[in-house]
Amino acid sequence: MGILEGKVVLVTGAAGGIGKECALIAAREGAKVVVNDLGGSVKGGDAGDASAAQKTVDEIKKAGGEAVANSDSVSLKSGAENMIAQALDTFGGLHSIISPAGILRDGMFHKMPDEDWDAVLEVHLKGSYNITRAAINHFREQEEGSFVLFTSTSGLIGNIGQANYAAAKMGIAGLSRIIAMEGANKNVRSNIIAPFAWTRMIATIPVKDEASAQRVERMKNAMRAEQVGNFSVALASPQCKTSGQIFSVRGNEIVLFSQPRPVKSVARVDGWTPETILSHGIPAMEGGYTDLGATASVFTWEPV
């Protein structure tokens, strides 16, 4: 018997990449799966392809599982509500949501068009709000539910050219934290994952030099979507009691991230002036600063 036997799971962005692996693994573990995918491009903004989600459904059914396709957009409140309603109408319940759906529109911040900022936040941050808000009361009423949302090291650490993506992903970190805090007394859990995996989204990031080209090759070979899928399904299962945490999956390595807490403080009994802040306050803090290194400067070791 699988760890999701008798449960219903909704997976967004499940036509390919991480989402597809989450859906396939959830079904293999006994879940009935609502497979959502608009079928759009990596950049979003197009009409999409309703058949994209159906292909994953067909694969699940061929393996003996149960699934239904949904082609609504997470960026629309009505789309999220439709997904929840479809789960309840088709399978009679909903117990977990795994939501990696997303787009990328990278570019330097000083050159970023408003529409690229808006589009990325609409799908990632507003999409995460829509899907959790549509399900939260159902989860609270049945006193069982798990959200597995997706952040990124682009937000947690930083990557040049991804201001919109980073802002959205850090917003998801805050959203998940509050859902976990408010849901604790109703057995409603929420966790987030910063995934490392070769997907069509990652494939759009430009390779600028030999070092980045080698890094891309390592990602292709060592960091695969199914590794993230296995961890996502484990977090979604009722056997897991963890909530409010930030994880990463990097190949065969599972990482727990720290969350912001004070690292230094300095006080002055007679208060501060702008001058004393500059002469004493800020210098006293400097030893605790976080540098401006990107993700690659933090994860310096080879993936396992």
Q: Which of 91, 150, 165, 198 is catalytic?
A: 165
User: In angstroms, how far is the first alpha carbon of the chain from the final one?
Assistant: 29
Q: How many CA atoms lie within 13 A of 72 on its CB side?
A: 22
CB atoms within 10 A of CB 12: 34
Answer whether 149's CB lies under 8 Å from 190's CB: yes
Query: Catalytic annotation on 165?
Result: yes
Report the distance separating Cα 116 and Cα 43, nearest Å: 9
Q: Which residue has the tokens 């400097």?
A: 286
The residue count of the chain comes to 304
* Half-sphere exposure at residue 228, Cβ-oriented, CA atoms within 13 angstroms: 32
Which DSSP string corresponds to 242-267? --S-EEEEETTEEEEPP---------
97 beta partners: 10, 147
Q: Edge to edge, what strands does the sheet with 253-256 contain?
A: 66-70, 32-36, 8-11, 96-99, 145-150, 188-196, 246-250, 253-256
Burial 181-216 (b: 16+ CB within 10 A, else e): eebeeebbbbbbbbbbbbbebbeeeeeeeeeeeeee
Give the three-state DSSP class for 210.
helix
Residues with a catalytic annotation lie at: 165
